[in-house]
Chains A and B, each alone.
Chain A
Amino acid sequence: MRLRRRTPGEGPWPWLAAGCVSVSLLMVLALLLLLGTRGLGHFWPADIERVTLHDGQVFAGVAVREEASAPGQATSEERLYYTANRALDGATWRWVALEDIARRDRPEQLSVIEHGRWGTLIGYIDETASNEQRLVIHTQRGQRTDLPRTGIIEHYRPNAMSWVDKILAWGRGVWHFLSQGPRSANTEGGVWPAIFGTILMVLLMSVVVTPFGVLAAIYLNEIADQGRATRLVRIAVRNLAGVPSIVYGVFGLGVFVYGLGGTLDTLFYSDRLPSPTFGTGGLLWASLTLALLTLPVVIVATEEGLARIPDAQREGALALGATRIEMLRRVVLPMAVPAMLTGVILAIARAAGEVAPLLLVGVAKLAPQVPVDDTFPFLHLERKFMHLGYHILDVGFYSGDVEAAMPLLYATALLLVLVIVVLNLTAIFLRHHVKSRHGALPR
C-alpha cells in the first residue's frame, strides 16, 4: 500500500502565484498612496515663511521642495517657494539657493487670500485701510493692492492656525476642490463641472446601453436560431469589444455628430446655422459613442448570465402554461438581472475612464456651465461638458503652470478613481440586493 506523496512537493508554484498577487496588490496600494499623498497634501494649509536673503531681498512663500542644483552652478542646493501673487508679480514660483538665505521666520499676520479673479495672494491684510467693499493687502515685497471682497473665496493665516484649524481648513480646501469650478486656466479652483460631467455622461450611457445590450443578448441567446449566422454575430460582438476606443470616437464624430447632429440642425435649428446646435460634439453624442463602445461588454455579460439559467427553469414556466414571452419576462429575465448588472458594472468601469473618443465627440477644456440647469429643458444634451479624464490630460499637458498643476493632477486622478469606485460599488450593491431577493442560482 502506497499512500505516500508521489512528488516530493508542490514546488515553487504556490509561492510564485502568491507572489504575483502580492505584487499586484502592492502596486495598487502604491498607486492609491501616491495619488492620495500628492493630491490631498495640496490642500493642507502649510506655513508661510518670510525669507530674508543676504542681499536684503525679502519675500513670503510656502516651501515646496528642495533639489540639488544643476552641475556647474555655484550653489549646491535650491529650494522652491510658492509665492502666489501671480496678478502682481507675474510669477508664482521662486527658486532660492540655500546659501543665499539669511533668515527665515513665520509672522502670524501673513495671510493667504484666495480670490476668484485675482488668484491666490500672500500678504498682510490691512484692516484699517479695508472697508466693507474692499480688502487692502500689502505684500511682503511692498506692493499694495485692494480687492473687491465679493470675489474672495477664502482667506486665512496658516502661521497662526492650530492643528484643528488647519484640519478644518484642509477639509474646506478639499470641499472647494470638489464643489467649485476651475480657475486660472484649470490650474486653480475645483473640478465640480468635471465630476458632474463624468457622472452624468456615464449615467446617460448606462441608460442607453443597458436596454440595447440586454435586448440584443436576449435575441441572441433566447430567440434566434442557434445557427451559423448567430454564431457569426456572436463572434463579431466579442471582437467589437477589442476595437480601439479612438476608432469609436471617429465613428461617433462621423455618424452622430456630423451625420445625426447635422441632420437635426438642418431640420430643427436651421435658424441658428451656421453655428451648430447638435452638429458639434456634446453630451448626447459622447454618451451614445461610449454606449456603442460598451455595448459588447453588456451583451456578452448578459448572454453568459442567460446561458447559466438552467433549461429546467424555462421548461418549468412553459409547462405551467406560460407563453415564450411570459417565460422570458417572468422567469428568465429576473434571474438574469445580476448578470445584466455585472455587464453594466463592466461598462461603467470601461466608460468612466475613456478619454480618447471624448476628444472627438464633445468634451471641453472649460465648460463651467454644467449640462443641467433651471432653464427649459433642464437637461442640455447638446452642451459640451467637462470630464475628469480629459481634465487630467488638460491639466497635465496643456497647463501653463506645471508646478501648480501637478498636485491638481494627482488630486483629479484620485477623484476619477474614486468616482469609478463609487459607481461600481453602487452597481455591485444593486446586484447584491437583487441576488439576495431572488436567491442564488442552484449549483
Chain B
Amino acid sequence: MPVFDPETRRAPEAPAKESAITDIPAASSALEIEGLTLSYGEATALKGLTLRIPRQRVTAFIGPSGCGKSTLLRALNRLHDLNETVHRQGTIVLEGEEIHAPGIEVAELRRRVGMVFQAPNPFPMSIYENVAFGLRLQGGLKRRQRDEVIEWALSSAALWDEVKDRLHDSAWSLSGGQQQRLVIARTLAVQPEVLLLDEPASALDPISTLKIEELIRNLKSRLTLVLVTHNMQQAARVSDYTAYLHGGELVEYAPTDQLFTNPRLAQTENYITGRMT
C-alpha cells in the first residue's frame, strides 16, 4: 500500500487562471471583504482576508477549530462590537455600503444580515412570540399582517405544519431540530438579505440535519447564505462555494465542486481528505 507522500501528491501550483476569489464579479457579490484583520487582544484571529461572497448562493467556510471561520462569520454582522478587546482593520461592504461607516446603524445591519447559531437559542416565549420578536422590534405591522408574515416565515423554515396548532406553546417545548428551524424562521421573518449560519446542524440528529440542509438549499433562491461547518460532507452537499481557512488565513476559495474534487493546494486536499493533523 503506497504511503501518502505530500510531495508526490501535490496538486499543480496555481494555474494560469486568476485566483478563484476574483472569479466572483463585484456586481454579483453580496458581501465584499477586503483586508480584514481581526484580533482578540494580542491574539490575531484573522489575517488580512479578502474575499467576495456571491449573492443568492451558499458559501461555506471550512477549516480546523480555531482557524477563524466563526470569527469571520461574526464579523459580517458586527457581533464583535460587544467585545471591547476585539480590534479590526479592513473593510466589509454589504451591497455597496461599508458596514463600519459612521452612519450605519448596527441594529439595522443585523436585521439585514441575520444569524443562526450553533445551539438553538429560541427565547423563553411562545413559538408565535419568537417569530414575532423581530417584527415587533421593527413595529408598524398590524396584527393581521404580522400573522401572515409569521405563517410565511414558519412555512419557509418548513416548520408551519408541525407547529400551526400549538403556536402559543413555549418554544422550549420543541425538539432541538424544530427549535433550530424556529430560529431560522424567526430570522427570516425580518426579511434579511444575508443569512449567516454558524454550524447550524452540529447539535442536531441526522434527520434534523437533513431537514436543515434541505432548507438551506431552498432558501438560496431568496437570499445569500454563509455557512460555517465542521462537516465536510455538509459543505459539499449544500454549498456552491467553499472557502478553506487555516490559521486565520484564507487558504483556498473556489466553487465547491472544484475545491472538493480538484483542490489546487495540497494543504486543502489534506484537510478535506482528513489527513491533516
Q: Chain A interface (Cβ within 8 Å of chain B)?
A: 225, 310, 312-313, 315-323, 326, 330-331, 334-335, 438-442
Contacts and interface: CB of A to CB of B under 8 A. Distances in A.
Given A312-B119, A316-B123, A316-B183, A321 B170 contact: no
Contact of A439 (B119, B138, B172): B172
Interface-central residue, B82, B110, B111, B124, by most chain A CB under 10 Å: B124
B133 interface: yes
A320 B84 contact: no
B170 A316 contact: no
Contacts of B114: 319-320
| 6 A-B pairs with least C-beta separation | A321-B111, A312-B121, A319-B115, A320-B134, A438-B124, A316-B121
A316 B84 CA distance: 19
Contact of A334 (B124, B138, B170): B124
A320 B186 contact: yes
Contacts of B110: 318-322
5 contacts: A316-B122, A320-B114, A321-B107, A322-B137, A330-B133
A320 B114 CA distance: 6
B141 interface: no
Given A321-B108, A321-B134, A439-B172, 16 more contacts: A225-B84, A315-B121, A316-B117, A316-B121, A318-B82, A319-B77, A319-B114, A320-B110, A320-B186, A320-B190, A321-B190, A322-B134, A326-B107, A330-B137, A335-B124, A441-B124
Contacts of A312: 117, 119, 121
A326 B139 CA distance: 13
Contacts of B134: 320-322
A320 B170 CA distance: 19
Contacts of B84: 225
Point out which of B77, B110, B111, B115 has the most chain A C-beta atoms below 10 A from its C-beta: B110
Nearest to B183: A316
B104 interface: no
Contacts of A313: 121, 123
A322 B124 CA distance: 16
Nearest to A309: B124
Nearest to A441: B124
B123 A317 contact: yes
A166 B187 CA distance: 70
Contacts of A320: 110-111, 114, 133-134, 137, 186-187, 190
Contacts of B183: 316
A438 B173 CA distance: 11
**Chain B interface extent, by class:** 20 to 34
Contact of B117 (A315, A321, A440): A315
A232 B186 CA distance: 40
A225 B82 CA distance: 11
Contacts of A326: 107, 137
A208 B268 CA distance: 63
B79 A318 contact: yes
Which of A318, A331, A440 has the most C-beta atoms of chain B within 10 angstroms of its own C-beta? A318
A334 B134 CA distance: 16
A335 to B, nearest CB: 6
A317 B119 CA distance: 14
Interface in B170-208: 170-173, 183, 186-187, 190
Contacts of A315: 79, 115, 117, 121
B125 interface: yes
Contacts of A323: 106-107
Contacts of B79: 315, 318-319
Interface string B124-165: 110000000110011000000000000000000000000000
Q: Specify which of B122, B123, B172, B183 lies most central, judged by the most chain A CB atoms within 10 Å of its CB.
A: B123
Contacts of A440: 172
A330 B132 CA distance: 12
Contacts of A316: 117, 121-123, 183
Contacts of A319: 77, 79, 110, 114-115, 117, 187
Contacts of B133: 317, 320, 322, 330
A321 B121 CA distance: 15
A317 B107 CA distance: 10
A318 B119 CA distance: 16
Contacts of B106: 323
A44 to B, nearest CB: 52
A59 to B, nearest CB: 71
A312 B120 CA distance: 8
Contacts of A322: 107, 110, 133-134, 137
A432 B156 CA distance: 36
Contacts of A310: 121
A185 B168 CA distance: 60
Nearest to A318: B110
B183 to A, nearest CB: 7
Nearest to A442: B172
Contacts of A330: 133, 137
Nearest to B187: A320
Contacts of B107: 318, 321-323, 326
